[in-house]
Chain A
Amino acid sequence: MRRVLYLLPVLVFAGLALFFLKGLTLNPRELPSMLIDRPVPEMNLPPLPGRGADTGLASADLKGRVSLVNIYGSWCIACIQEHPYLQKIKELGVVPIHGIDWRDDPVEGAKWLKKHGDPYARVGSDPAPGRTAIDFGVTGAPETFVVDKNGIIRYKHIGPVDMRVWDKTLLPIIRELNK
């Protein structure tokens, strides 16, 4: 009994060490989203100039089929890195990708799409203070939401999407939601 008692501090230390070790491997930026399993926020965002009158993004547009909603901005460096992969995902034709041009001048947002390519079905402009992005609980760009047929948010990916994220995470979720 006494022996066990002497071991106690060691055990407590080992427990704490494991706990903190796990903490070290977590990315503090990847906060769990409050929006999971909740309907997409009410929104009715105007289109970008030059993209056609009916290409803005409203909540109703996200009903009927599984879709991705991608938060980007012409000021966002990581979005440039992500962009070719969004193009590839568009070419696969599995889901429509919609964009929200966050904290951006819509003219700049449109120019950026001309320069880097336009993978989006619809793009809504959400200039500062980015009310819609805040309704989505966005903490930075890029972020990508998976929305199901009923307009319910099912997953949020923080940071750039690439083919690895697509194959390992997004595609399985989309397949599951399409069943």
Chain B
Amino acid sequence: MIRLAVLLSVLWLAAPALAADPSEMLKDPALEKRAHTLGKELRCLVCQSESIEDSNADLAKDLRIIVREQIGKGASDEQVKKFVVDRYGDYVLLNPPFKGATLVLWLGPFGLLAVSLVAAWAFFRRRAKGQAPAGSAPLSDAEKRRLEALLKDGK
């Protein structure tokens, strides 16, 4: 049992292993970290929901190599991103940029939240004012008497 637990915990440590094999990595750990962080933001065009750092696809491997090559040559993160976006479009960025075409994507949820808050506010205000919901009339005298009798009975 304990052995199994140890095995599982060790296996769990293996989970975050990278798709990048050591031969691709840059020697300078600081640059490698930058390349890895940047690669995490770039979509693999083959598997589409994985970043190029996570994917085993050949194209992802090629892009990892090219990203590292450029960073090794001293390119800034922005320059590398521009290189990839120039070829594959904004789609390649897992974190889409804030601009005209993506306005609905970024602001839509807040817009919906605002609309629903206004609707909720209007609803509760009307209820607080004591307005009866549409379609129901106030109780008649006979109904009031019957209600009182019922309430008394319950005691």
Chain B interface, DSSP helix/strand/loop, else mixed:
helix
Give A33's nearest chain B residue, CB to CB.
B89
Given A34-B88, A137-B87, A137-B88, residue A129 in contact with residue B62 (CB < 8 A): yes
User: Mask for A116-143, Cβ within 8 A of B = 1, else 0?
Assistant: 0000000000001111001111111000
User: Mask for B57-70, Cβ within 8 A of A = 1, else 0?
Assistant: 01101110110000
Contacts of A152 in B (CB 8 A): none
Chain A interface, DSSP helix/strand/loop, else mixed:
loop
Q: A28 interface residue, CB < 8 Å from B?
A: yes
Q: Select the residue from B66, B85, B88 with max chain A CB neighbours within 10 A.
A: B88
Q: Select the residue from A29, A32, A130 with max chain B CB neighbours within 10 A.
A: A130
The answer to whether B58 and A34 have CB atoms under 8 Å apart is no
Q: A103 interface residue, CB < 8 Å from B?
A: yes
* Residues from 129 to 166 in A contacting B, C-beta threshold 8 Å: 129-131, 134-140
Q: A17 interface residue, CB < 8 Å from B?
A: no
Output the least CB separation between A67 and chain B (Å): 21
Q: B95 interface residue, CB < 8 Å from A?
A: no
Output the least CB separation between B107 and chain A (Å): 17
A136 vs B58: C-alpha distance when bound (angstroms):
16
The answer to whether A139 and B46 have CB atoms under 8 Å apart is yes
Give A38's nearest chain B residue, CB to CB.
B86
The answer to whether B66 and A131 have CB atoms under 8 Å apart is yes
The answer to whether A129 and B66 have CB atoms under 8 Å apart is yes
A165 vs B141: C-alpha distance when bound (angstroms):
80
Contacts of A28 in B (CB 8 A): 48
Q: State how many residues of chain A have any CB contact under 8 Å with chain B.
A: 18
Give A75's nearest chain B residue, CB to CB.
B58
* Residues from 28 to 57 in B contacting A, C-beta threshold 8 Å: 45-46, 48
Contacts of A139 in B (CB 8 A): 45-46, 59, 88
User: Mask for A91-128, Cβ within 8 A of B = 1, else 0?
Assistant: 00000000000010000000000000000000000001
**Residue from the list A103, A137, A140 in contact with B62, Cβ < 8 A:** A103
A117 vs B7: C-alpha distance when bound (angstroms):
54
Contacts of A32 in B (CB 8 A): 89
Given A103-B58, A140-B59, residue A134 in contact with residue B86 (CB < 8 A): no
Contacts of B61 in A (CB 8 A): 128-129
- Chain A residues with CB under 8 Å of chain B are 28-29, 31-32, 34-35, 103, 128-131, 134-140
Nearest first, the 7 closest Cβ-Cβ pairs linking A and B are A129-B62, A139-B45, A137-B87, A129-B65, A34-B89, A130-B62, A137-B88
Question: 13 A-B pairs, CB-CB below 8 angstroms?
Answer: A29-B48, A103-B62, A128-B58, A128-B62, A129-B62, A129-B65, A129-B66, A134-B87, A136-B87, A137-B87, A137-B88, A139-B59, A140-B59
